[in-house]
Structure 1
């Protein structure tokens, strides 16, 4: 459910650094979302996922890793459901105090249960329906009540009503810029993975799993990292040709430096190159080139200097400090880093904003390498691409898809008029940025100061093991996922999830029949597309086959001695994987999220939806929770991803995943009018005086609204078939009301003002508060069940409805 530009044709994730996730902005896949803003600036930055499964995706949440996770942060909604009982004990031996507290908690629960049995009928005005008094129901009822603010009027501010208690009880953990349900679940998953990696022997295991442990241990080996200091990066800079900042450099080797920095080490200073499914021929892979090059989360940070002066000063200080740590002299380093920042600002000036790149049809341009050479002559494209995709043989007629035609033309002009020394400095700077996460504590301290300015976080409190789990997941995530799945995942959850998806699909299709603005031909084609959407749940099957898993990582050399070298080997490996894809058909079963990930996504060129094992647990799903909560949680997630197939970008792809016009003009116009309503609605919302960008968030807002509607109607269909459920005790909510509260509590979160600003300028998702308020204000079902009078904030009388 995690923003920069795009580097990947079939993923829709958005740039950050591990609090939500990413490096150069990627092509849409659509996810639920939380993003990566790890103060460690995650080592792999999705390279392998970009190359092994170059699919854009639309995510549920900003992609989330861990900003700077607090060591002892815990979740009030920790309920282990949907995962196999009797798994590993990740908590170890309990202390006497822990045992005592556990006994006291159990006694309190039993006392509460006894009271509920005695008084239960008093909680409901309709005692005939009865109460669910199972342990799971009592526990989740307690969590729901604790998270709510009963003093708030649900018709005035439903987010406060549903999440006020949660926000009061969950101040930001030290070192974090944001905290949410997604973070708490991810930390639970991390704790399990830590146990598996630190206690497993892996004798007889797959080679990939052994590599995973070695990689993790190399990251944990801080003594070795401190001993090596900056030398590994200094040696790499020398190998590539030197850096004017710190020593002699090769003035006549500019193209070779670009090939090494961008092609071999994936820094991509001026543009991004990936291999992925051709949007207009989804059965074929193709080279794709897009804009790239910015370090800060958005071009806005460079161009709106007055509002972002503090961040720009902190960024320059960070640049200078890193230059000096690598051997630069202070005065010279300050001068040259200012020149680099000015050049990066020039790149920002020609970078196209994300809200102007939402029309896939308009930004898609297929050319040959020879035509690209004429468009952007500053780069020898045949030489560059041949090197980057070695050992493949390319010629001038090789097709290439461009997603930033004007940008590439302008960046070529910028390169031609810029001094070679500055170009070399900038290319080396992008390599340094990408490498510092593997260096010693001095570099981490420098980064902490920048992150405080950028996200409002204080010095990182992240335990090293959490940083290393995140890096391992980014690099060997499917091997790590194999350990996670074998230890925890209940395959029965997969069957239940598939049943729910089918129910939600049916509800979505039924809603199509009620749309007055859609013509019959387009409606039938939309139903056909909905039927063709296929789902991938839990994990890809290959990870449980040791041979297949080993084949995926064959050629990636890992040792537990050098974290830095493991990173370099990974970049080289991911480049080879990318090259290997070009002459092959896209693998429709390939995943671009790892199993432990707490997120979900839609892939336009595959017309598929993916729900990793990490999200198939409470509060999203639990087999012994009321269906109202499951449909309000994972059900809305499923509806969200399914609706992405019909948002402003997804609707341009047909049922086969090809970008082509398949709508009648009258329906296109009807869709446009309804999306304009939604753009205007969300643009009125503000955070700390700043407006939400209704254009930038349009796709996610469409998915939020359509997903809620489909999930609720699927729930009502389930009730019609199975009868009413028992109600939860003490919550004083009908099950229909519980559905909406469960939905809202998924989005309970807190964040710093700096992080909130960053989200507004970069994130394709609306702020969590407005994912609740905006969606429910458009829901007639919500207004009915909470009896909200017309004219109240949650029932304004004007609803924006697309699907």
Structure 2
């Protein structure tokens, strides 16, 4: 078991980030959850700043040429007066055509002068020269150096000398040869500058410095609980998919692609959804045997209801079952059982009633309203829903929190079905599993991996002493909450009230087509991905990404040699594991073969008439696909994310990393962007996923994906000491006065830190082989600094307080702000290139370093 185990065809209700009560999925994400996305905004459009920059660059080049001629004349006359050049260009004089004037024009146009200054002048800092218009001796060469101390960046524009009066040297090189003046460079420069907040010292708060401008220009869109670069790209991908699916000339030869369009159109068909109302779900409940909400109920059918709601309809009351790779035998699949059964994102919502009173009240209102929409009586429904809520609270009490389940060796328990029957006797396990995995022939010697042994013991006892009517209501409620989003507007309105208390936003603010694109991606994501890839994917991206992964892998391995705490035997095994990491980029090959793609979705029936029925058909189809996997060997090339997804992940049991096509685009990657940005963007993502193979959970798996001890004790103890430092570091960070859970986020924090280091060292090696890159115009950063700014701006984000609270309780990633601050404050390379003095917030002098 690892942090994320989503089978390719698992149903759409599994959260991307598992709650305490959910099964843990089989790969590790970077950090984006598709919920809460909206319009693209200004991406891809030419901004006013870009236009200004383009004109100013032309003016500057012409001015420089004129000044060079003037300088030549002055030098040829033998003028060598002390400070002559300084007087011409650095005293603040504004002579016609003077070089000082060239840059003062930039200062004034659009207020850009303030953008180039940190507002502080420590240790020889020259930041003020751009905001005050001062031209002190030697200042102009350094005036772009808002973030370098003591003459740093000015040298990038010069011969490398920084002695007094060396201003002539600064412009003795043709700017066209040192700056990138392509349209792509001008465009990305504009975006970087707009995202920066130059009033902030980067050594004080690098996140605010890198993202302050972005946050100011990107208030939360309506209907969104969070907004980030990830959301923006996902919006862009959705818009492309909308165009493809709504194209009136759509005429695919693939049956799977036709099913994709039919499914999407059935979701868009609001008239049909409204006409059907609640009746499809009412009929389904009656078919299963009814519940006490809508009338007297007195049946002894617990096992039949449990098998039905969790089998063909994939609701998971009490516990969850799935088929996945056996962590201790990566060549075989096995039945796996884990804790489940909570609707709210975390057990803490149920147990910390004071802090979450608003959410619990909204949840009860939601439950009661849905019960009445399905035929319940106003006088009795609320009381019965309160009983269900109380039962879920009891489940929350016995549910083990995620931060206590990080040692996978400890929670792995393999047993026979007969042993499972002894462990939790209230369930007829052979009957239950045979039904869920029909038509497979099982017996009581079938092996099962259990991850929540104590939980299953306690839940068996709880079921045994709970009234059968309440148990039935709870099971049917699990089915209701899973399917209600496919019903009419009344159900969406009820959900809106709950979402507002949980996340501070309303789903109804999101256009219907975006909701339907998300649903289609969850259901037929690889057929949808085929359309996306054929329309957008650059065929060269795979090859380029492969090359970057290999460079980052090499840098990571070189870093292993520098670890004094690791013994030689463990180091060699770690290198072998790094070499064995299997990468998948863009999309699985089968999606471009119509026959193979059609075979994948063969047996799934879709119509344009009933969205609700299409959803039920998919649950049934996915259950059959799951059962089919049990007697087959694991497919190493099976993906758990669809091609349009803006994310990436690591698979411990396959020792593989996956980068869908959706993330292989700007700002993470673009062929015509500086390598500094590509390594700082997708390069850090690649390093992050690679480092997951060596985080506190991934390190337990060997190079073949098997969960087994392969570390020497001395190295293991040293590793734990170093991770304890990181756990403590992140626990100190707070959002809205709430502390980050350093234990819950440990694996992602290790990956963030290791990924940044590997990516930067890979970039540094690239520079050694290829030479320095041209600089971006007007940004005022050298390319080493640009790497770190590019990394930070990937994580620019805003979110509601409610969403931030939910993230602290459930997300294995730290909040974006501290993914930047925590990582960079541990980086010696960052402190060196930004000249952050020891003792400053971004260079405290106490670093936590694992890899």
* TM-score, length of structure 2 as denominator length: 0.85
Aligned to 1:319: 367
How far apart in 2 are the matches of 1:116 and 1:138? 14
| Contact map agreement 1:5 1:354 (CA 8 A) in 2 | no
Change (3 A) 1:119 1:236: farther
Aligned pairs for 1:121-520 within 5 A: 123=144, 125=154, 126-127=156-157, 128=173, 130-199=178-247, 201-249=249-297, 251-458=299-506, 460-520=508-568
The answer as to whether partners of 1:607 and 1:657 remain within 8 angstroms in 2 is yes
Q: How much has 1:119 moved relative to structure 2?
A: 6.3
**Structure of greater relative contact order (alpha carbons < 8 Å, 6+ residues apart):** 1
> How many equivalent residue pairs?
746
User: For 1:103 and 1:730, how far apart are their aligned partners in 2?
Assistant: 15
Alignment deviations for residues 492-519 of structure 1 (CA, whole Å, 9 cap, x no partner): 0110000000000000000000001100
1:264 positional shift: 1.4
> Does the 8 Å CA contact 2:252/2:258 hold for their aligned counterparts?
no
2:585 is paired with a residue whose SS is: strand
Mark the CA change 1:713 to 1:633 in structure 2 (over 3 Å): closer, same or farther: same
Runs of 5+ consecutive residues of structure 2 not aligned to the other structure: 65-102, 104-140, 145-152, 158-172
C-alpha deviations, 1:692-748, integer Å up to 9, x for none? Answer: 000000000000000000000000000000000000011100100000000000000
User: What is the match of residue 737 of structure 1?
Assistant: 785
Which position in structure 2 is the counterpart of 1:673? 721
Q: Could you tell me how far 1:532 is from its partner in structure 2?
A: 0.1
Determine the C-alpha separation between the residues in 2 that align with 1:780 and 1:508.
16
Residue correspondence of structure 1 range 553-592 to structure 2 within 5 A: 553-592=601-640
Residue 600 of structure 1: how far off its partner (Å): 0.3
Conserved 8 A contact 1:505-1:531? yes
Residue in structure 2 matched with residue 92 of structure 1 by the alignment: none
Q: Summarize the Cα distance change of 1:759–1:115 in structure 2 as closer, same or farther, 3 Å threshold.
A: farther
- In structure 2, C-alpha distance between the alignment counterparts of 1:451 and 1:801, rounded to whole Å: 39
- 2: distance between equivalents of 1:485 and 1:25? 35
Q: Is the 8 Å Cα contact of residues 674 and 801 (structure 1) preserved in structure 2?
A: yes
Q: Which residue of 1 aligns with 2:733?
A: 685
Q: Deviations over 1:184-206 (max 9, x none)?
A: 00000000000000005443521
1:22 Cα deviation after fit: 6.4
The CA deviation at 1:594 is: 0.2
CA contact (8 A) 2:677 2:791 kept: yes
Shift of 1:252: 1.3
- Out of 31, 35, 40, the residue aligned to residue 66 of structure 1 is 35
What secondary structure is seen at the aligned counterpart in 1 of 2:621?
helix
Q: Which residue of structure 1 aligns with residue 814 of structure 2?
A: 766
Task: Tell me the CA shift for residue 65 of structure 1.
Answer: 1.5
Match of 1:114 in 2: 58
Paired with 1:319 and 1:119, the residues of 2 have a C-alpha distance of 70
SS for the counterpart of 1:277 is strand
CA contact (8 A) 1:176 1:457 kept: yes
* Mapping for residues 598-617 of structure 1, pairs under 5 Å: 598-617=646-665
Deviation of the 1:263 alpha carbon: 1.3
Q: Counterpart of 2:27?
A: 57
Distance (Å, rounded) in 1 between the aligned partners of 2:752 and 2:24: 16
Considering only CA atoms, is the larger Rg found in Structure 1 or Structure 2?
A: 2
**Displacement after TM superposition at 1:78 (Å):** 3.7
Q: Deviations over 1:386-406 (max 9, x none)?
A: 000000000000000001000
Distance 2:7 2:518 in 1: 23
Instruction: Tell me the distance in 2 between the aligned counterparts of 1:764 and 1:14.
Output: 22
Residues 235/471 of structure 1: CA separation in 2 closer, same or farther (3 Å cut)? same
Residues in 1 aligned to 2:511 and 2:18: alpha-carbon distance in whole angstroms: 21
Structure 1 residues 275 and 459: alpha-carbon distance in aligned structure 2, compared to 1, 3 A threshold = closer
Per-residue CA deviation, residues 121-167 of structure 1 (Å, 9 max, x unaligned), is 96562224710000000000010000000000101100000000000
Distance (Å, rounded) in 2 between the aligned partners of 1:7 and 1:417? 33
- Return the alpha-carbon distance in structure 2 between the equivalents of residues 523 and 27 of structure 1: 33
SS of the aligned residue for 2:333 comes to strand
Residue of structure 2 equivalent to 1:53: none
After superposition, the Cα gap between the structure-2 partners of 1:169 and 1:16, relative to the gap in structure 1 and judged at 3 Å, is farther
**Inter-partner Cα distance in structure 2 for 1:200 and 1:594:** 25
For residues 200-237 of structure 1, the C-alpha deviation after alignment (integer angstroms, 9 at most, x for no partner) is: 54435210000000000000000000000000000000
Residue aligning to 1:631:
679
Q: For residue 369 of structure 2, give the secondary structure of its aligned residue in structure 1.
A: helix
Cα shift readout 1:270-305 (whole Å, capped 9, x = no counterpart): 100000000000000000000000100000000000
Residues 25, 514 of structure 1: alpha-carbon distance in 2 compared, 3 angstrom cutoff: farther
3-state DSSP of counterpart to 2:246 = helix
Q: Distance between the aligned counterparts of 1:165 and 1:732, measured in 2? A: 16
Q: Distance in 1 between matches of 2:688 and 2:431?
A: 43
Q: What is the DSSP-based 3-state SS (H/G/I as helix, E as strand, rest coil) of the residue aligned with 1:584?
A: coil
Partner of 2:117: none
What is the TM-score of this pair, normalised by structure 1? 0.90
Aligned to 2:569: 521
SS at match of 2:606: coil
What pairs with 1:655-734 in structure 2 (closer than 5 Å)? 655-734=703-782
Please provide the CA RMSD for this pair: 2.1
**Deviation digits for residues 413-448 of structure 1, max 9, x if unmatched?**
000000000000000000000001100000000000
Assess if the C-alpha contact under 8 Å between 2:12 and 2:519 holds in 1.
Answer: no
Counterpart of 2:697?
649
CA distance in 2: counterparts of 1:119 and 1:324, whole angstroms: 75
Give SS of 1:367's match. strand
CA–CA separation in structure 2 for the residues paired with 1:22 and 1:195: 32
Matched, 1:802 2:802: no
Query: 1:645, 1:737 → 2: CA distance?
Result: 28
Residues 185/115 of structure 1: CA separation in 2 closer, same or farther (3 Å cut):
farther
Task: Give the aligned partner of residue 160 of structure 2.
Answer: none
Q: Give the SS at the match of 2:330.
A: strand
Contact residue 12 and residue 522 of structure 2 kept, 8 A = no
In the TM superposition, residue 249 of structure 1 has moved relative to its aligned partner by 3.8
- What is the distance in 2 between the residues matched to 1:742 and 1:103? 19
- Partner SS, residue 514 of structure 2: helix
| Paired position in structure 2 for 1:8 | 5
SS of equivalent residue, structure 1 residue 782:
helix
1:14–1:763 contact (8 Å) kept in structure 2:
no
- Change in CA separation of 1:163 and 1:382 when aligned onto 2, cut-off 3 Å: same
Q: Is the 8 A contact 1:15 1:23 kept in 2?
A: no
